[in-house]
Structure 1
Amino acid sequence: MGKAESGTKEAKVVGLLRSSAVVSVMTLLSRVMGLIRDIVIASAFGAGAGADAFFVAFKIPNFLRRLFAEGAFNQAFVPVLADYQTNATKEEVKRLINAVSGVLGVSLLVVTLFAIGGARFVAWVFAPGFHAEPDKFDLAVSMLRITFPYLLLISLTAFAGSILNAYKRFAVPAFTPIWLNLVMIATALWLAPRLNEPVMALAWGVLVAGIVQFTFQMPFLYRLGLLPVPVVDFKHSGVIKILRLMLPALFGVSVSQINLLLDTVLASFLQTGSVSWLYYSDRLSELPLGVFGIAIATVILPSLSRHHAGKSAEQFSRTLDWAIFMVLLIGIPAALALGMLAEPLLITLFHYGALTEHDIAMSAQSLRAYSVGLLAFMLIKVLAPGFYARQDTKTPVKIGMVAMISNMVLNLLLIGPMAHAGLALATSISAFLNAGLLAWGLKKAGVLHRHEGWFKRGFMLLMANVALIAFLYFLVPAENNWFGWSTVQRIWHMALIIVVAVVLYLVVVFASGLRVRHLRASA
């Protein structure tokens, strides 16, 4: 009996839809807790200088985490790990994991120590506009020294999560971010009132959360017999291969994150509150992106990698086709809802305590701009794995360079007339360019082509989204009503709108011909 056949009998075959649903449910819990966290922060700190300083201090390690751990490293490590799973023994897999954990840990420790020592320089690079306001700049530097070790902790957490995902243990990594939200809520409510500078509690919350998230996953790796014993071995063939794949992927996979960071850099030169307005709107746009887009991308990367390693070109193409359809099915209505419900959503979630009506209006402008690009952000998440699963990291880099340059040009063109909202719109437009070029590259490589049924799918999507637009346009109460309602009234009306909109969308799409079997795909 061959190794692949034996592995098939031993492993439980989990459909991509089911796996995506597991990740989506866990991620939804995390995002809901994240919204509660942001509500607490908005109520306590609003959109003032302290909030701006924290969002920069948190965004720097968080950006590097997405760029490095969940971006380049994950996209390079998972295909190599899948190759070892398919063609090597478990002992060789264990040696790979040990070597990668040692190299990763030492490299990140060095980066962390340098960043803490040079915190003033790092803060100046990422938020140069703060330098004109010494108090805000010094506060950001102080918080950065506390938050930056989060990069080391969360990157090791992402490494553990990649291993669990490769072995189809999707729930644990998807649940892990919930700890960040729980810890930060606790520090904002309990620790902040006890400090001379209350906003510093948020920085301590980030650090503690990193420790909790890392330790949470260790028992699950132990049960798999894959708990890492770090060995610093830069000469291990798997490590060399991962590093070779990582270098170009470091840029290519995270262009959207670089663009969002550029928004923060330029927003630091705008009026106080601009960084916070972008943060609150970005958080809302990330809700569907994280719950659905990243969830789908998480489960297809190991699957695509196995199909490539097993030389199953047709299954590879069908997996991509399934992922694109799922993104369109969910991403189009999500983008429409975010754009049309911008003020009601922001009022319901954040208009309490220190956050003013002006802050809501400004955040709504950038939320609408981000909603324009939501579908593109989600498509990037599922198209990029089509390259990385085939261990092609050069093509996304070339595409990323084009998208990043276009974003810079658009930033400069739009920041004048539209201020912070122009930065968000520039990011959205460049995301569509990025997604389009990725799709064209996959089509040119012969791994992305149209399968049967797309005309029928397009008709379903058109009918359902037209019905959704009509419902939101004619039946959602005016903005002034939302400001006048109590918290309970806001939540009740928003919940009712969401439930009716989801039911209406599903009824129309199923009436147009969609069936559950169309949503299934094998892993």
Structure 2
Amino acid sequence: MSEGQPLEGASSLPATGRIVRAAGINSLGNVASRVMGLLREAVIAATFGASGATSAFDAVSGVPKMVYELLVGGMLSAALVPVLSEYAPPADPPASAEEEAARARKQAELNDVLSVLLSLGGLVFLLVTAVLELGAPWIAKILVGGFDRSLLDTATLLVRLIVPSIIIYGLSGLLQAYHYANQRFVYPAMGAPAHNLGVIIAVVLLARRLDVASLSIGIVVAALTQFLVQLPGLRGVRLAWRFDWRHPVVRRVLGLYAPVVLSIVIQNIGIIIDRNLASRTVNEAITWMAKATFLIQLPLGL
């Protein structure tokens, strides 16, 4: 696959055909993700059951998700993909040497934008992760303040093990936006099933030795798996460190994203309150709620 080229054969399809093809790929990826997600939950339930420790993990596992949604996930459809699509070369094949040269310039510009986003994003993700590592005891208390000291210590450990996944999730989200802008849908579609597979493998291999800590490590492994399956889409792309905070794309993305931030913050606050209140009932409550929520969302997601 050459630099900037969409899926093989996609560029020769009419616009309607490309849309149908993209929808089909995303649908297949979604179905595979849901099936693998069901298997993931079954493996976790069979291995650990429901306890205070699993409730601590189910509460803590929301931390990377909340931070990702705030820093990247909420930007994808609202800002990142629309802005990157403006820099992306057209999907139709060039009809002349001039169009081929223009296409190459557009692709080089898009790659430069990706370098800026990965450099700045990576720095932000690293700083946020460092802050969360230092604040792990307070994060545990905010999430599961109703737990006893032993379970709070477990939650603190799980926070420290899981937050490095934020760096990987963030970079993976930026790659996902890049692939969407280039009309490459296979790589993002493969990410979610690969993520669930990573959790399953980590639990199977590590649960006996590390107990519930294997779940937090499994999330890091899963994030890395999701990131790695997208790397082949960067073949031929030249990236460089570009810490350019004044790049026009940074201002555009932040400007488009600003109206969305408040809704994400409110949603995250609701999740935190939900977990904290549940921790003040029985120890298993958060795990029961998490499993029930998954079963409700499974058919809706399909």
TM-score by length of structure 2 reads 0.83
Q: How does 1:205-244 map to 2 (within 5 A)?
A: 205-223=218-236, 225=237, 228-244=239-255
The corresponding residue for 1:266 is 277
1:181 and 2:184 equivalent?
Answer: no
Shift of 1:286: 3.0
Q: How does 1:72-471 map to 2 (within 5 A)?
A: 72-85=75-88, 89-130=106-147, 133-195=148-210, 198-223=211-236, 225=237, 228-252=239-263, 256=267, 258-291=269-302
AA aligned to 1:184 is: V
Q: Contact 1:267 / 1:274 at 8 angstroms: preserved in 2?
A: yes
Distance 1:11 1:114 in 2: 48
Shift of 1:188: 1.8
Distance 2:202 2:221 in 1: 10
Structure 1 pair 122–253 and aligned structure 2 pair: CA distance change class (3 A): closer
In the TM superposition, what whole-angstrom CA distance separates every residue of 1:334-384 from its partner, at most 9, and x where no partner exists?
xxxxxxxxxxxxxxxxxxxxxxxxxxxxxxxxxxxxxxxxxxxxxxxxxxx
The runs of 5 or more residues in structure 1 that have no matched partner are 1-8, 292-523
SS at match of 1:31: helix
Distance 1:258 1:72 in 2: 19
Q: Contact 2:85 / 2:182 at 8 angstroms: preserved in 1?
A: no
Distance 1:74 1:68 in 2: 13
Q: Contact 2:57 / 2:158 at 8 angstroms: preserved in 1?
A: yes
Q: Contact 1:63 / 1:261 at 8 angstroms: preserved in 2?
A: no
Shift of 1:97: 1.4
- Which structure exhibits the higher relative contact order, with contacts defined as CA atoms closer than 8 Å and separated by 6 or more residues? 2
Q: Contact 1:73 / 1:250 at 8 angstroms: preserved in 2?
A: no
Which 10-residue stretch deviates more, 171-180 or 138-147? 171-180
Distance 2:187 2:289 in 1: 30
Distance 2:23 2:267 in 1: 22
Structure 1 pair 257–27 and aligned structure 2 pair: CA distance change class (3 A): farther
1:36 and 2:39 equivalent?
Answer: yes
The corresponding residue for 2:25 is 22
Distance 2:233 2:155 in 1: 36
Shift of 1:24: 1.5
In the TM superposition, what whole-angstrom CA distance separates every residue of 1:98-152 from its partner, at most 9, and x where no partner exists?
111111110111000111111111222233223xx11111101101101001111
The corresponding residue for 1:341 is none
Structure 1 pair 211–176 and aligned structure 2 pair: CA distance change class (3 A): same
Distance 1:220 1:56 in 2: 34
Q: Contact 2:116 / 2:242 at 8 angstroms: preserved in 1?
A: yes
Shift of 1:158: 1.1
Q: What is the aligned-residue identity percentage?
A: 29
Q: CA RMSD in A?
A: 2.4
AA aligned to 2:78 is: Q
The runs of 5 or more residues in structure 2 that have no matched partner are 1-9, 91-104
Structure 1 pair 11–89 and aligned structure 2 pair: CA distance change class (3 A): farther
TM-score by length of structure 1 reads 0.49
AA aligned to 2:279 is: S
Q: Contact 1:73 / 1:246 at 8 angstroms: preserved in 2?
A: no
Number of residue pairs aligned between Structure 1 and Structure 2: 277
Distance 2:182 2:264 in 1: 23
When Rg is computed on C-alpha atoms for both structures, the one with the higher figure is: 1
Which 10-residue stretch deviates more, 240-249 or 41-50? 240-249
Which 10-residue stretch deviates more, 116-125 or 133-142? 116-125
Distance 1:204 1:103 in 2: 26
Q: Contact 1:179 / 1:209 at 8 angstroms: preserved in 2?
A: yes
